[in-house]
Amino acid sequence: MKKSIFFYIILFCNFSFSQEKDLALDLKTYDFELKEDIYNIPIVFHIVHKNFKDGDISDEHFKNLVALVNERINFVDIKNIDSIFKNIVAKPNVNFYLPKVDENCNEIDNISWHYTHVEKYIMHLDDVFAFKRKESGYMDSKKFLNVWFVNFSNRTDNVGAYRSFNFQLDGIVVDFEQLNYVNFPFLLIHEIGHWLGLEHIWGNTPFYVEGNCWDDDGIKDTPNQKGPNIRTKTSGEFCDENSTTNHQNFMDYSYDVGMFTHGQKKAMRDYIYKKRRSILWKSNCNNNSELITGFIKDTRDNQSYKWVQIGQQKWMSENLNYATSGSKCYNEELTNCTIYGRLYNWEEAQTICPKGWRLPNYDDWKRLTLVVGNNQNLIRSEQGWLNDKNGTNKSGLNIIPSGYKSFYGRYYGLGKYSKLWLNNSNGIWAYSREIGEAYNYEKITSTGQNQKKDYLSCRCIQDNN
C-alpha cells in the first residue's frame, strides 16, 4: 500500500516543479488593478475516457468543482488552521472560471469529452504523453488552463496528478478520482500551485533525498522542511528545531485543510503577471463565464433567495424580503414586497441580512465591477424597467427598479430606479448604489446619499469572515 503511494509521488513530483527561479521581481510596472485585484483565469476541462458516455458527469458538477477550487484557494478554512500558521495564511485572489467563448467571442467547448481505447493510463511520462493531448481538446495554453481527467491505473491512493512540463501541451493531468473529491479537490489545487510556479514547500529535490535542508522552495514564510508530510503531519521533518513543518500547505502532501502563505501568494501572482499574463485576456462579449448560482434559505421565515457567484463573492440576486415591523412595501402594497423586496431604514439594514450574509460596502461593489465591468446595463434585469431601460443582466445580479421611500412619507421611483444600501455612512447620512434612469449615469459605482431614516432596498452578500 505505502509502497505504491511512494511510487507515484516520485513520478509526479519529479516532473511537476517549475524551473523558473526569477519570481521575486519588483514589478513596478504593475498597473493598479492587476496588482491589487483578482486574477481571473479561464479553465477548460477535457475528459479522456473509455467507459463513460459523453456527458456522464454533468456540466453542473464541473462548475461546482471550479467554485470549490476558488473557494478553497481564496477562503481558507481558517478555524482549522493550526494557530502557528494563522498569521501567514493569505488569500491569493486568483479565481478560475469556465469561459463560454474565446478572446474573439467564438463559442468554445469548455468541457470536452474524448474517447480513448486505453482502459487505464500508467502514470509515467511516456504513457501520459501517449494519449495525444493535442487530440484531446487541448486549447492554447497561453489563453487557457487545460485540465485533463484520465484514468490512471494501479492506484491504491488518490495521488494521481501532475503538472505537465511540456509547454506545447502545458496543463494539468489528474485522475478521475479528483472528480469524486468534489468536497476537497486538494490535489488539483496542488497542481495549480505548480502551474503557477510554486515548488513543494521542501524545495525541488525529490522527497526521498534524505534530509534536504539545503534545499527550500525560495519562499520566505514557508518554514524549510526535509521532505513532505504524507497524509499526516508527522512524517515531514522540520529543519529548524524551533520551527515546524507547514503541513497544512497546499504544496505539501498532507491533504490537511489547505492554505497558501503570503509568500506563495506573491510568488503566484508575480508568476501570473510575469509568465502567464496573456491568460488574463478579456473578451468584449461580456459575461464570458458561466454563471454559478444557487439558493439559500433564510431560516427566520424559510424564504429562499437566489444567489450568484461574482468573482469570489456570492451576491443575492434578489432584494431582501424579510418582514419586520419597521420595513415597508412600496405604496404599502404587499405584492410589491413579493416582487421588489422590502424597504428598510439604514440602521435596520445593518443587521437585516440572514445569518452568514451581510450588507455590502464600497469595496465589495468595486470588486464586483472588476469582474463584470462597470456599466449598469450589465446588472439591470432584463425586464421590469420603464422607458427602454431594461438591462442585459449579464452579471446575473438582476437589479430591479424597486424605488424607495423617503422618511417623511412618499414613495418614489418604482419601475425607474433602485437604491441599494451600502454599510458605509457619515453622521445622519448613509450611502447607496443608485441604479437607474433618475441619476443619469451609467457607472455601477456612482454613489447615492440618503438620510439614514429613508427606506431603501437591501442586497446581501455572503460574509466570508
d(CA 342, CA 326): 10
CA distances from 222 to 239, 345, 383 (A): 12, 48, 52
Closest approach of Zn ion to the CB of residue 157, in Å: 14
Closest approach of Zn ion to the CB of residue 17, in Å: 7
- Quick one: residue 72, left, alpha or beta (phi over 0 = left, psi -120 to 50 = alpha)? alpha
Closest approach of Zn ion to the CB of residue 173, in Å: 12
Closest approach of Zn ion to the CB of residue 222, in Å: 14
Closest approach of Zn ion to the CB of residue 384, in Å: 51
Nearest 5°: the CA angle 304, 418, 370 is: 80
Closest approach of Zn ion to the CB of residue 263, in Å: 17
Residues that bind Zn ion (CB under 5 A): 13, 16
Q: Which of 188, 399 has the CB closer to Zn ion? A: 188
d(CA 416, CA 363): 26
380 neighbors 393 (Cβ within 8 angstroms): yes
Q: Which of 15, 362 has the CB closer to Zn ion? A: 15
Side-by-side strand order, sheet with 429-436 = 411-414, 402-405, 417-426, 429-436, 447-451
Query: Hey, what amino acid is at 240?
Result: D
Q: Which of 18, 374 has the CB closer to Zn ion? A: 18
Contact residues for 75 (Cβ-Cβ < 8 A; gap 6+): 91, 312, 464
Closest by CA to 3, choosing from 236, 252, 230, 183, is 230
d(CA 171, CA 149): 11
Closest approach of Zn ion to the CB of residue 128, in Å: 15
Q: Which of 247, 419 has the CB closer to Zn ion? A: 247
Closest by CA to 265, choosing from 49, 35, 79, is 35
Contact residues for 149 (Cβ-Cβ < 8 A; gap 6+): 45, 46, 47, 48, 49, 174, 175, 176, 178, 179
431 neighbors 425 (Cβ within 8 angstroms): yes
Closest approach of Zn ion to the CB of residue 133, in Å: 19
Closest approach of Zn ion to the CB of residue 124, in Å: 16
What single DSSP character describes residue 221? T
Q: Which of 161, 353 has the CB closer to Zn ion? A: 161
Q: Which of 161, 456 has the CB closer to Zn ion? A: 161
Q: Which of 94, 292 has the CB closer to Zn ion? A: 94
CA distances from 400 to 54, 151, 177, 390, 455 (A): 39, 47, 43, 9, 16
Closest approach of Zn ion to the CB of residue 167, in Å: 18
Closest approach of Zn ion to the CB of residue 12, in Å: 6
Q: Which of 207, 404 has the CB closer to Zn ion? A: 207
Nearest 5°: the CA angle 17, 20, 21 is: 110
d(CA 276, CA 356): 35
Q: Are strands 447-451 and 461-462 parallel, antiparallel or unpaired?
A: unpaired
SS3 392: coil
Closest approach of Zn ion to the CB of residue 203, in Å: 12
User: In this structure, what C-alpha cell is assigned to residue 332?
Assistant: 404599502
User: In this structure, what C-alpha cell is assigned to residue 101?
Assistant: 467563448
Q: Which of 160, 391 has the CB closer to Zn ion? A: 160
Q: Which of 13, 196 has the CB closer to Zn ion? A: 13
